Structure formats: structure tokens, C-alpha cells
Copies of this chain bind each other. A is one copy, B any other.
Amino acid sequence: MNSPGCQQANCSETLKEGMGLTPEGRRESRVCTVRVPINIALVKYWGKRDQTQNIPLNDSLSLTINSLHARTTLRVNYEIGTDSVKINGKSQTVTGSRYQRVFEEVRRWERKRKAGEVAEHPVSIQFEITSETNFPVSAGLASSAAGFAAIAECLQKIFGFTDSQKSQLARLGSGSAIRSIFGGLVRWRRGTQPNYEDSIAESFPSTHWPSLRALILVVDEGRKEYSSTDGMQRTVETSTLLERRIECCDVNIDKICAAFSNRDFSAMADMIMRDSNNFHAVCMDTSPPLMYLNDVSRTIIRLVHVYNEKNGSTVIAYTFDAGPNATLYLEEDTVQDFLDFATKQLRFAESAQTEVEEILGHKLDESVNNGALAQILQVIYSQVGGGPQLLSLH
């Protein structure tokens, strides 16, 4: 298990305000680099009560996936200039974007803070972001969650924001990013206060259950058919079942947290699968329907149930976000047997087969299915529960 460098709330590495002026009297630029894992929800977030602020209708719960992360550098220049964002080498449009929302909020806070001081220097702040993910973006692997959590993390380090402010910045960028600002099992409370101050993340340490693993089967590396933002809004507007789903989320989260606390894998897995199916049910109950799963996703769902049945107990759970890729949760000692089973039932691309062999530490036998009509394009095996890591700050 990775030992997250700066996972907890009161990180002392924030630079002190007022340090470092240039010979011209301007404040020196600050640069912060962090690595932040994505998270995959066990109880999904779907539907907002405030679209601008990304305030959810229901609480959600997730585990971070240590191996999939964004490595993000934020440079803050105290001068007037154009903000820039580059993701995996590609410049992004900032104007009107979610990045701009975050930058503007920081400028607003800084203006407000400065107003209470002797304002020697106007609040001119320019942001430059460079982010690399070690997996394809927008393929339903929650890349924006890691990316915006990383930005929020950097902003906290540079400006000394509180955890509550960090939550708010991450959430402004992407709702589910709030669940990547901590490690462990993270619950995002929807909050009930009018100012949304209590719509924050809470974490349960993952070190409690070190044998827990995630196995991601990448089915489709393409972009999503509909963005989560558009999709969930359509569900809110048209589904007759969403309200009932929302009523049940808190109870399900409590059950999963209790099972996590008792390390009762079977009870936890059952609730994880039920929530995934319940989430895709309300997607289907949307008009027109949101159909994120495909035939390969469904084959994996059946496979997991067959495997659990064969085992006589639930030792593996699937969950699917707004896309066809499967995230499987299981304990370390189930991995080998399950992969042996899965490689006989599914067709793996050659590279995915190599990934499986690396996980197992031995070659698969030749009867294993692979070929042109591969169903599984990539296999990612990961520890879970890691949090943000500060790589550098100056």
C-alpha cells in the first residue's frame, strides 16, 4: 500500500504568506506538483440540486484507485496574464470552462482577503496548469475527479486554504473530485445548509483493510456517449425512479461503511453491486435512456455472479460508472483464481493478456482467448485508498 505523503487534513507544508518578493517587489511565482489518484464510487453520485456549485442530491462513497492518477503541476504567477491548462500535452479551452470557475473563485477569495489588509499589491493572479494522467481521459475512468482534486490540492498548498475551501474548489471543478482530496474510504456528504458549507468529504482510513484491491477491466477506450453532467441532469428531469434511489443512498452507504469497518467483504460487495445496478437502472429510466453498459459489461456482470456462486460466497464485486468499463473490488487472495477464471471466459487483447501475466507473475496457458474481437482492452490492478501526494512545492 502506498503511504500517501500528504493525505491528511492539516498538512504543514503550506508556504507562509508574504515569503519571496522579486527585486521589483512583486511576489514570486509559486509552483506546486502533486499526484492524486482517481476514485471509483461504491455508491454513485447522480443528480445535482445546484448545478453551478455541483451540490449533489445524494451522499456518495468511494475508494481511490492508487495506480490511476493525475500528476499535476500548478504554477501561480502574481501578474496579469492569460490562464492556461494543458492536459496530457493538449491545451484546453479555459474561458467558460470548469477551470475558470475554480480560478475565479480563488481570485474572489484573495480579493476578499486582501481587502482586509493594506493592499500593497493588486490581486493579479495567473494560473498555469500542466497535468498528465497515466490512463486515457474521458473513458469513464473518472479522470476529471483526479485532475480537479489535484488542482484543489495545489491551491491549498500555495494559498493556505482550509480543508473546507479545498473541498469547495475541487467540487466546483468536478463533483466527484471532492472524493479524491482524501485517501481511504471517502464519503461525500451532500450537505443540508443553504450555503453548502457542509457539502464536504469525510474519510475512513484505508489502512484498516490493506488487502483490498481493485481490478479494472477496460472495455472501451473511447469517449463517453454523453457526459455525466448532461446525463445526470436529464435523469433529474425525466426519471420517475431517481427520487426513490436518492432515498436509499444513505442507508446503503451506512451499510457499506459498517461492512468496511467489520472487514465483511461479502456484505460490502453485495451493496456495491446493488448500487451499481440501481444507478444504471435510473440511467435507463431516463428519457431518452442513458445506456452506459454494453454487451461486454454485461458479460462481466454475469461472470462475477457465476464466480461468486461457484465460490459459495461473494468474494468479488463489480461496479460501473457512467461508462462500460468494469471496476472489480476483491481481496488480494482472490485475484489469481479470478483472473484464471476470467481469462477463460472473456477475450483479452494481447496487451491486456500481458498485463494479466504481469499481475499473476506467470504466463497464461495457450487456451486463453484472445484475438481481433477482444472484449478486454486493458487490465489495471491496483491497491486502493491512497490519497494525494505532494511531490514538490516552491
Complex copy number for this chain: 2
Are A281 and B285 in contact (CB-based, < 8 A)? yes
- Which A212-265 residues have C-beta < 8 A from chain B? 238, 240-241, 243-245, 248
Contacts of A280 in B (CB 8 A): 284
Interface size of A as a range: 20 to 34
Contacts of A295 in B (CB 8 A): 294-295
A/B interface sample: 14 pairs, CB < 8 A: A240-B278, A241-B244, A241-B278, A273-B287, A274-B287, A277-B284, A277-B286, A280-B284, A281-B285, A284-B284, A289-B301, A291-B298, A294-B295, A295-B295
In the complex, A288 has a CB within 8 A of chain B: yes
In the complex, A27 has a CB within 8 A of chain B: no
Q: How far is the CA of A245 from the CA of B241 in the complex (A)?
A: 7
Instruction: Identify whether the interface residues of A are mostly helix, strand, loop, or mixed.
Output: helix
Smallest beta-carbon distance A164→chain B, Å: 33
Of B238, B277, B291, the residue contacting A289 (CB under 8 A) is B277
Q: How far is the CA of A302 from the CA of B226 in the complex (A)?
A: 12
Smallest beta-carbon distance A9→chain B, Å: 35
Q: How far is the CA of A282 from the CA of B295 in the complex (A)?
A: 18
Please report A residues at the B interface, Cβ cutoff 8 Å: 238, 240-241, 243-245, 248, 270, 273-274, 277-278, 280-282, 284-289, 291, 294-295, 298, 301-302, 305
Q: How far is the CA of A240 from the CA of B286 in the complex (A)?
A: 17
Contacts of A288 in B (CB 8 A): 273, 301-302, 305
Contacts of A298 in B (CB 8 A): 291, 294
Contacts of A245 in B (CB 8 A): 240-241
The 10 A-B pairs of least Cβ separation, nearest first, read A281-B285, A281-B281, A281-B284, A244-B244, A288-B305, A295-B295, A277-B289, A241-B241, A291-B298, A278-B285
> Which of A240, A273, A280 has the most CB atoms of chain B within a 10 A radius of its CB?
A240
Contacts of A286 in B (CB 8 A): 277
> Which of A238, A273, A287 has the most CB atoms of chain B within a 10 A radius of its CB?
A287
Of B243, B270, B282, B294, the residue contacting A281 (CB under 8 A) is B282
Apart from A238-B274, A270-B287: 16 A-B pairs, beta carbons within 8 A:
A240-B248, A240-B278, A241-B241, A241-B244, A241-B245, A241-B281, A241-B285, A243-B244, A273-B287, A274-B287, A277-B286, A277-B289, A278-B284, A280-B284, A284-B284, A294-B295
